[in-house]
A = this chain, B = another copy of it.
């Protein structure tokens, strides 16, 4: 349960073989980019290594996984990437690998230190920044495939350098992997420019419900269960839609109400400073970050909207 340096982490990896690298469940660009970049680097220094994840890897990430030879071997050493809490490996995996992770490479300040050794840089925008530095410490040459992995993690975790977690160092690492051939045209098109037809249909249905309140300072949209059926979209498609209300000019508090069951709704709140999404959702039994938070409410849609608007109003008046 120790925090270790890049040098010590590189030393540990050099001592290991037959390494299983574990990504978190519902994998995103950062955990996959981290896992496959590290896997490629370990193979380059003669190790047997493969990547595993309890969820299926979305097809849009196929360029990250392709061309890598997934050796079969009995895993002896377990390394986690971008995993803040063992539970995030997914139910079965979390049980299977509890107390077995020798090294965890992460960037979450909230890391629970579940691994024997943790390489943590909480100032990094992405775990891929940490993995990039570790690969350099290992003395492995960053090739195009590794560069694509690292760029993917950095660009997805920063919303393509838009979010406030982006630092000067983020840009420096981006410049380095571009010099190594990262295909930013392809990656950014796949990550940010491609919307499925079912997503487009769901977005249109959701936009039809958009309403403004309190002189346009609050916007709310609603996603009901039947919209998934009508559009063919899944709940995982709603992330981008939940970002829309706050994007409207003049809106300080944006909210999305998603129906989970007939009488159960999830509310997502996004705010602009100084309005505190965590405080708003906290008042309704939830929590989160200052700019993005959530909660669950039971009742009819009217009840839920009523409670949301009362809470928003109290916060706007503060």
Listed residue (A161, A196, A197) with the most chain B CB atoms within 10 angstroms of its CB: A161
Residue A283, interface by CB 8 Å: no
Smallest Cβ-Cβ distance to A60: which chain B residue: B249
Q: Is there contact, CB below 8 Å, between B175 and A168?
A: yes
Size bin of chain A's contact surface: 35 or more
A172-B171, A207-B204 known; A166 and B184 CB under 8 Å? yes
Query: A248: which B residues are within 8 A, CB to CB?
Result: 194-197, 200
Report the minimum CB–CB distance from A158 to chain B (whole Å): 9
Binary B-proximity of A142-157 (CB < 8 A = 1, otherwise 0): 0000000000000100
A168 contacts which of B162, B179, B203 (Cβ < 8 Å)?
B179
Residue A176, interface by CB 8 Å: yes
A168-B179, A169-B175, A208-B204 known; A249 and B162 CB under 8 Å? no
A249 contacts which of B196, B203, B207 (Cβ < 8 Å)?
B196
Q: Is there contact, CB below 8 Å, between B164 and A168?
A: no
A195 CA / B184 CA spacing, docked (Å): 26
A195-B248, A212-B197 known; A272 and B189 CB under 8 Å? yes
Q: Is there contact, CB below 8 Å, between B197 and A250?
A: yes
Q: Is there contact, CB below 8 Å, between B184 and A176?
A: no
Binary B-proximity of A282-302 (CB < 8 A = 1, otherwise 0): 000000000000000000000
Residue A315, interface by CB 8 Å: no
Query: A178: which B residues are within 8 A, CB to CB?
Result: 166-168, 171
A211 CA / B247 CA spacing, docked (Å): 26
Residue A188, interface by CB 8 Å: yes
Residue A185, interface by CB 8 Å: yes
Residue A280, interface by CB 8 Å: no
User: 13 A-B contacts, Cβ less than 8 Å apart?
Assistant: A161-B161, A162-B188, A162-B192, A162-B193, A164-B185, A168-B176, A171-B172, A172-B172, A193-B246, A194-B247, A195-B247, A197-B249, A200-B207
Given contact pairs A164-B184, A204-B207, a sample of 4 additional A-B residue pairs in the complex whose CB atoms are under 8 Å apart: A162-B188, A164-B185, A169-B175, A203-B207
